[in-house]
Amino acid sequence: MCTAFLFWKGSALDPAVTGSGASNTTGVHRRVGARMLRKLSGDPECRNGTCPTLWGTEDAKDYVVQGYVITDPERLAQLDLPEGETAVVVPAAVLEEYFRAQR
């Protein structure tokens, strides 16, 4: 199951800034703090509704990526992430679907 969100540290989507994490709602929208997210693209192979997804903020200034959290220490070391950030893996099809729709 995929439940992680990638938040940009210090942005309006950072749980430390909004004071809360993401909470699920039904449909193609989710609320992060006081902000709504709009589903832009999802994993076409998804069968259970909780799969990697690309979300956009209501003001279209940020993206939120829902994916599988990278836990492998070697992979994380390659990324050299600062404290408070994490990385997730999403199938290429999630991003390809979004960019194809933008043409």
As a whole-number percent, the residues of the chain with pLDDT over 90 amount to 35
Strand boundaries in 8-103, DSSP class E: 22-23, 29-32, 35-42, 53-57, 63-69, 88-89
Asked if 95 contacts 54 with a C-beta cutoff of 8 angstroms, the reply is yes
DSSP letter for 34, please.
T
Residue 13 CA to residue 26 CA, distance in Å, equals 20
pLDDT at res. 33: 61
CA-CA distances (angstroms) from residue 95 to 11, 18, 64, 84?
22, 26, 12, 24
pLDDT at res. 3: 37
- Residue 70: pLDDT over 90: yes
pLDDT at res. 31: 67
Residues 35-67: tens digit of each pLDDT: 689 999 998 888 887 899 999 998 888 999 999
